[in-house]
């Protein structure tokens, strides 16, 4: 047999395998594998950054072959998909006018790169019926973490990791508070719906789990930023899902409960009292979080004024602080690559253009969750929590909070888009909506 004949037969030999692959990649089992991988990502996020990263890569490997690329590209005109990609593109192009070494510039793309997954998640869960599995997986994982948090609070020797704070089994109190607050407010709407439908056991179960998450934050491990975004989310929930009288009753009840918690929680009182001590700090020998943030913000505003339109380029934050720290002492000499404010972190690197893209992305995601479905409420909680917490932290760039945002927007957004598409189909019936009156 000649070489030419072998070359002619090769495609014929591969053709059956390619046909099988095309059939397999669109099969129910393949799609189920993608959904299970997404559940594992959500379940691993509260526990391990390494496991989350590995599972994200695995999920992409499974999902990419299932994509109809013509439809995928057409969907990119949707603002919810377009703006995350635009922000990532700006980070890539921002390496061209940064003056730091290339490894630093390329490393500056990494915190933004996770946004690329939002269009893939929206595409997949707009077609999958198992988005709720991911949400339940995350809730179950956080519930397990919350139970372990109570245990290690009283028995520190059982900690699986060497954390700095009591009541923190893994990671840190900021990540844990973000997770627990998200779970608590995500459960608020199911509890309300169950109450209205007189499903007392379900309502009691949701309410008990909500209170367990909130109690853990107030008595065991609290990020003070959580107090701010929980207050915003409480008002948002009351205004969105309650009529006037129940809304006032809820806010009054929360005020009374807050007063009782204040008198009974030394942990909460200490966390608030620390603000005054931190504000007066002049160096980092003690607790200085508040003074540090004020210093970072003041310096960042100065850096932005030097390059207001396009910023100093990708990965330039640390270099700006290094340049400004020369000859300084105390907090003024501190060198960081995170100004602890998302807007400032964007503006230092990419100026006003970057800030406009950031706000456009947040706004497009808020608009996506205007529906009164459960997925719409959860997505709204995710976005509002990220926006508010990003006033005091660069939470879109942080690993944990950033992936929490990407997963929440991608999964809940896909579910919301799927529900909206089904409602718009001819002959379909509108989905049940929660009533505003109690």
pLDDT tens digits for the chain (438 residues)?
A: 455 555 454 455 555 655 555 555 566 788 888 999 999 999 999 999 999 999 999 999 999 988 888 899 999 999 999 999 999 999 999 999 888 899 999 999 999 999 999 999 999 999 888 999 999 999 999 999 999 988 888 887 777 666 667 778 888 888 888 999 999 999 999 999 999 898 989 999 999 999 999 998 888 777 888 888 999 999 999 989 888 888 888 888 888 888 887 888 787 777 777 666 655 655 554 556 777 888 888 889 999 999 999 999 998 898 888 888 777 777 777 888 888 899 999 999 999 999 999 999 999 999 999 888 899 999 999 999 999 999 888 888 889 999 999 999 999 999 998 888 777 666 555 444 444 433
| 3-class secondary-structure state, position 68 | coil
> What is residue 435's predicted lDDT score, i.e. its pLDDT?
40
- Calculate helix-pair angle for 399-424, 117-127, nearest 10 degrees: 40
Number of domains forming the structure of the chain: 1
**Integer CA distances (angstroms), 93 to 89, 218, 333, 354, in order:** 6, 44, 30, 11
Is 357 within a domain? yes
Q: How far is CA 249 from CA 224, 235, 243, 281, 438, in A?
A: 25, 12, 10, 41, 11
* pTM exceeds 0.85: yes
Q: Which domain holds residue 92?
A: 82-114+295-419
> Residue 108: inside a domain, yes or no?
yes
Contact 174, 393 (CB under 8 A): yes
How far is residue 331 from each of residues 280, 285, 335, 336, measured CA to CA in Å?
A: 11, 10, 9, 11
If you search the block for the tokens 């004949």, which residue do you land on?
5
For residue 207, how many C-alpha atoms fall within 13 Å in the half-sphere facing its CB?
Answer: 11
Q: What is the predicted pLDDT for the residue at 16?
A: 61
The values of phi and psi at residue 374, to 5°, are -65, -45
Residue 209 lies in a domain: no
Residue 60, number of CB atoms within 10 A of its CB: 14
Answer yes or no: is 16 within a domain. no
Does 300 map to a domain? yes
Q: Please list, in sequence order, all residues whose beta carbon lies within 8 angstroms of the beta carbon of residue 438, skipping any fewer than 6 positions away.
A: 196, 242, 243, 245, 246
Q: Which helix (H) or strand (E) holds 360?
A: helix 342-368
Predicted confidence at residue 242, as pLDDT, reads 85
Q: Greatest CA separation found in the chain?
A: 90
Question: CA 214, CA 177: separation in Å to the nearest integer?
Answer: 9
For residues 26 and 21, give the distance between their C-alpha atoms in angstroms, rounded to a whole number: 9
Q: Which residues contact 168 (CB under 8 A, 6 or more apart)?
A: 149, 152, 159, 176, 221
User: CA-based angle 90:351:342, to the nearest 5?
Assistant: 85
148 assigned to some structural domain: no
Residue 282 has what pLDDT?
A: 53
- The 10 Å CB-count burial string (b at 16+, else e) for 180-215 is bbbbbbbbbbbbbbbbeeeeeeebeebbebbebbbb
Tokens 């930023």 belong to 225
Question: In 142-171, which positions are buried (b, 16+ CB within 10 angstroms) versus exposed (e)?
Answer: bbebbebbbebbeeeeebeeebeeebbbbb
In a domain, 166, yes or no: no
274 domain residue, yes or no: no
The length of the chain, given as a count of residues? 438
């Amino acid at each position: 047999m000649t070489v030419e004949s072998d070359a002619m037969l090769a495609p014929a030999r591969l053709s059956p395998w390619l046909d099988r692959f095309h059939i397999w990649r669109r099969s129910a089992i393949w799609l189920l594998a993608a959904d299970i991988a997404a559940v594992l990502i959500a379940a691993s996020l509260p526990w391990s950054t390494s496991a989350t990263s590995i599972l994200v890569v695995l999920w992409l490997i499974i999902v990419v072959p299932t994509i109809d690329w013509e439809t995928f590209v057409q969907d990119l005109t949707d603002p919810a998909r377009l703006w995350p990609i635009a922000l990532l593109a700006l980070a890539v192009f921002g390496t061209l006018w940064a003056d730091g070494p290339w490894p630093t510039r390329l490393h500056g793309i990494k915190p933004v790169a996770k946004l690329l997954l939002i269009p893939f998640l929206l595409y997949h869960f707009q077609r999958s019926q198992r988005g709720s599995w991911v949400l339940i997986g995350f809730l179950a994982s956080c519930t397990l973490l919350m139970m372990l948090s109570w245990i290690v609070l009283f028995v520190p020797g059982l900690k699986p990791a060497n954390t700095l704070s009591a009541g923190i089994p893994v990671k840190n109190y900021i990540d844990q508070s973000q997770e627990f607050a998200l779970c608590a407010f995500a459960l608020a709407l199911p509890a309300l719906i169950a109450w209205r439908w007189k499903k007392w056991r379900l309502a009691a179960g949701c309410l008990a789990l909500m209170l367990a998450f909130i109690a853990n934050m107030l008595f065991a491990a609290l990020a003070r930023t959580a107090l701010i975004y929980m207050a915003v989310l409480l008002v948002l929930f009351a205004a969105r899902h309650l009529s006037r009288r129940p809304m006032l009753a809820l806010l009054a009840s929360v005020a009374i409960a807050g007063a009782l918690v204040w008198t009974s929680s030394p942990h909460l009182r200490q966390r608030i009292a620390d603000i005054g001590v931190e504000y007066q700090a002049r160096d980092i020998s003690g607790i200085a979080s508040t003074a540090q943030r004020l210093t970072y913000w003041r310096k960042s505003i100065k850096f932005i004024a030097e390059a207001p339109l396009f910023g100093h380029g990708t990965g330039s934050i640390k270099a700006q602080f290094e340049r400004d720290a020369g000859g300084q002492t105390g907090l003024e000499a501190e060198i960081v690559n995170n100004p602890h404010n998302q807007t400032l972190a964007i503006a230092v690197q990419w100026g006003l253009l970057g800030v406009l893209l950031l706000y456009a992305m947040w706004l497009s995601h808020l608009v996506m969750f205007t529906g009164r479905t459960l997925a719409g409420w959860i997505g709204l909680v995710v976005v509002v929590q990220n926006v508010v917490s990003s006033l005091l932290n660069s939470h879109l760039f942080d690993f944990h909070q950033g992936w929490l945002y990407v997963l929440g927007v991608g999964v809940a957004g896909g579910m919301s888009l799927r529900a909206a598409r089904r409602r718009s189909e001819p002959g379909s019936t509108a989905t049940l909506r929660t009533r505003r009156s109690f």
